[in-house]
Amino acid sequence: MTNRWERLSTSIRDRLSSVVVATALAALIVFGVLAVLIFSVQGAQESFSTARMAVSVAAVTEDAIATTAALQEERALGSMVTIAPLAENLSAYGEAVDRTDAALQDLRVTWSQNRTQVPQSATPPISDVLASEVTLGEVRTATVTPGGESTFALYTELVGLSVSATGELLKQVDDPATAGDRGMIGALLTASEALQVQRYLILDALASPRPLSEELLLQLDVVTSNASQSLFEARSLAEGGEQEAVGEIMSGSGASEVEHLMAGIVNGDGDFDVTPETWFGVTTSRIEQISELIPLVNVDEIALAQENLDRAQRSLWSRSILLGALFILTILVATSAVNATKERGEALAEYGLLTDGLREWFVPTSFPDSENIDIAARYVPASIRTMSGGDWYDVYQVGDALAVVIGDVAGHGSEATAQMAQLRNLLRGQSTARTLAPAAQMDLLSRTVADSGILATLTYGLLNPATGDFVYTRAGHIPLLIRSAAGSVRVEEEAGGPPVGSGIEMARGQEMTRLRPGDLLILITDGLVEGIDRDIDVALDEIAKALTETDLSAEAVLDCLFGLGPEQATDDMAALLITWRGPGHSHWA
């Protein structure tokens, strides 16, 4: 009997042990699934927070765009009041003031409802716009004061605040699906402002008995070119009906009429009779087309942001419900397990609840911390009289890198300046809208301007401030130089390719060089090495030799470079210096 009970007891103990082992294994499996689901819920929470931020940004952007348009319209009608203080102009101006006030009120309400969800980097620009009402009141008073001067410049400062705030908002959302729309909105805002400046310059000239000055003609050339290039960029980013709408703005009947009127005004055609009112009406029609298109483009941003928010919310809800169900199952399994397993299950449950309530907020900054980089530059035009030319340099952020540019547009004077502005803006727009390798970026740029008549050489590279890696290509530009901290200088002659706009079809080179701490990257234009009976290679050798004996300070290097330049400069001269201090605590580190 005793043996029988012993055998039964042993059997029960064995079965219980099997149950405990099975329960423990089940608990481990459930806990593993729970852990995976917790992190899944955390990821869904992050996606939800990001989507909610995008919706808030889109809502504020919509009202910021409306405020910008209202301020621009008020500025335009204010100009008409200053030029012709007629009753109908004063009435139209008053209505525009009311619309601006309403737009500012809408922006204030939307901002108060969404500011906690908008990244902090966008707060100062929006706050500046909302705080500008005191200044706006003073400008309005000056506008309607009889005999007062034009308030266009004062209005332009306020419009600039609104445009800046809108641009800052457009940068807050990092969604490749809407990058084209955001780039298109930015280009349309730039085109609209350029066309409005063009409208005012002609309007002011028509109201003045003085003939058109060379300075005014140069201003008109630049703003007209900027408007055309910005519209071209907007069309390249647009799709479907939006692309057709931009094309209509660029070359439709409204554009043709503006060009016709402007040509007659600029050429001084005696038989050409145009009044300020006529000019204002024709140009306003075209500007209104842009003002109506921008909100339509932003509607896509709003719709996609709301769609992403709905999707993220559904994902968060479903995963939270599943997490709750699995949590209950975990408690049941843990209750049947050993105390350690139960305690572990309770700890995981608490962790799950805590994780479900956490939110990570990533606030990107607008400008990089470049403590490990020093930048210096100098530019001397070929013509002191005109103070304009085709050389330029640029440094700006592209993703995780700094875009480093130096270029030279063929020619001098206002035409070269206008073409340089077009090329610079186009390169900035294309490279920030879609980051490509330098060689591919130059191919895209060259194809874009193939039929524009622009011919330019330039060096374009991407510098990683955290590592010192510099990837670059040269589009027909002269080689760059690198001076080490020890004083040695080397000439980088690789990564060559045809000039931008040349139409030459050939493979474009690309190289990567790694800067060492203290290295000085030297980019120059050919004006510093070209001259009568002067070989470029010989000039580069002279520069390299001279720099080995020069103090490493930026001013000393620039003085050395420009001191070695030709005595009778027939071309612009420009130099861009970038010193990499070494790994630091930069924004990209």
Q: In a 3-state reduction of DSSP, which class is residue 375?
A: strand
Contact by Cβ (8 Å): 545, 490: no
- Examine domains 173-304 and 373-580 and report if their fold is the same: no
- Residue 286 exposure: Cα atoms within 13 Å on the Cβ side: 29
Cα–Cα distance measured from residue 418 to residue 423, given in angstroms and rounded to the nearest whole number: 9
pLDDT for residue 40: 64
pLDDT for residue 315: 72
Helix (H) or strand (E) holding 223: helix 214-237
Per-residue confidence band for 355, with pLDDT thresholds at 50, 70 and 90: very low
pLDDT for residue 334: 62
Per-residue confidence band for 309, with pLDDT thresholds at 50, 70 and 90: confident
Q: Name the one residue in this structure whose structure tokens are 């490493």.
A: 552
Contact by Cβ (8 Å): 575, 391: no
β-partners of residue 409 are 456
Share of the chain above pLDDT 70, in %: 80
403 against 282, higher pLDDT: 403
pLDDT for residue 10: 53
Per-residue confidence band for 461, with pLDDT thresholds at 50, 70 and 90: very high
Cα–Cα distance measured from residue 573 to residue 135, given in angstroms and rounded to the nearest whole number: 42
pLDDT exceeds 70 at position 195: yes
Closest CA relative to residue 22, chosen from 11, 33, 30: 30
- Can you tell me the mean pLDDT for 459-485? 93
pLDDT for residue 88: 92
Q: Which of 45-49, 163-167, 355-359, 581-585 has the lowest mean pLDDT?
A: 355-359
Residue 108 tokens read as 């204030």
- Best CATH choice for the domain 373-580 from the list 3.40.50.300, 3.40.50.170, 3.60.40.10, 3.40.50.720: 3.60.40.10
- Count CB atoms within 10 A of the CB of residue 19: 12
Query: Identity (one letter) of the amino acid at 91?
Result: S
Cα–Cα distance measured from residue 294 to residue 276, given in angstroms and rounded to the nearest whole number: 27
Domain ranges of the chain: 62-171, 173-304, 373-580
Cα–Cα distance measured from residue 291 to residue 61, given in angstroms and rounded to the nearest whole number: 14
In the chain, what is the straight-line distance between the N-terminal and C-terminal CA atoms, in Å? 78
Cα–Cα distance measured from residue 293 to residue 437, given in angstroms and rounded to the nearest whole number: 32
- Best CATH choice for the domain 173-304 from the list 1.10.10, 2.30.170, 1.20.120, 1.10.443: 1.20.120
Contact by Cβ (8 Å): 589, 466: yes
- Count CB atoms within 10 A of the CB of residue 43: 13
DSSP codes of every residue in 10-38: HHHHHHHHHHHHHHHHHHHHHHHHHHHHH
Q: Which of 9-13, 261-265, 355-359, 379-383 has the lowest mean pLDDT?
A: 355-359
Q: Which of 168-177, 218-227, 308-317, 378-387 has the lowest mean pLDDT?
A: 378-387
Q: Over the stretch 201-229, which tens digit does the pLDDT of each residue have?
A: 888 888 877 778 888 889 889 998 999 99
Report the phi/psi class of residue 369: left, alpha or beta, with left for phi > 0 and alpha for psi in -120 to 50. beta
Q: What is the largest CA-CA distance in the chain?
A: 132
Closest CA relative to residue 425, chosen from 445, 439, 410: 445
Q: Give all strands (DSSP E) within 156-221, no chain letters.
A: none
Cα–Cα distance measured from residue 261 to residue 190, given in angstroms and rounded to the nearest whole number: 22
Select the highest-mean-pLDDT range: 186-195, 306-315, 512-521.
Answer: 512-521
Q: Over the stretch 555-571, which tens digit does the pLDDT of each residue have?
A: 888 888 888 876 666 67
User: At how many degrees (to 10) do helices 179-206 and 214-237 cross?
Assistant: 160
Per-residue confidence band for 385, with pLDDT thresholds at 50, 70 and 90: very low
Cα–Cα distance measured from residue 272 to residue 265, given in angstroms and rounded to the nearest whole number: 7
pLDDT for residue 347: 44
Contact by Cβ (8 Å): 413, 388: yes
- Can you tell me the mean pLDDT for 508-522? 93
Closest CA relative to residue 215, chosen from 382, 72, 417, 407: 417
- Can you tell me the mean pLDDT for 281-304? 83
* C-alpha pair distances (Å), 309 with each of 39, 44, 313: 19, 11, 6
Cα–Cα distance measured from residue 383 to residue 389, given in angstroms and rounded to the nearest whole number: 8
Task: Report the side by side order of strands in the sheet with 401-412.
Answer: 389-398, 401-412, 456-463, 469-475, 511-514
Closest CA relative to residue 41, chosen from 360, 364, 362, 363: 360
The answer to pTM > 0.85 is: no
Q: Over the stretch 51-106, which tens digit does the pLDDT of each residue have?
A: 788 888 888 888 989 999 999 899 989 888 888 888 999 999 999 999 999 999 99
pLDDT for residue 357: 33
pLDDT for residue 50: 79
pLDDT for residue 297: 82
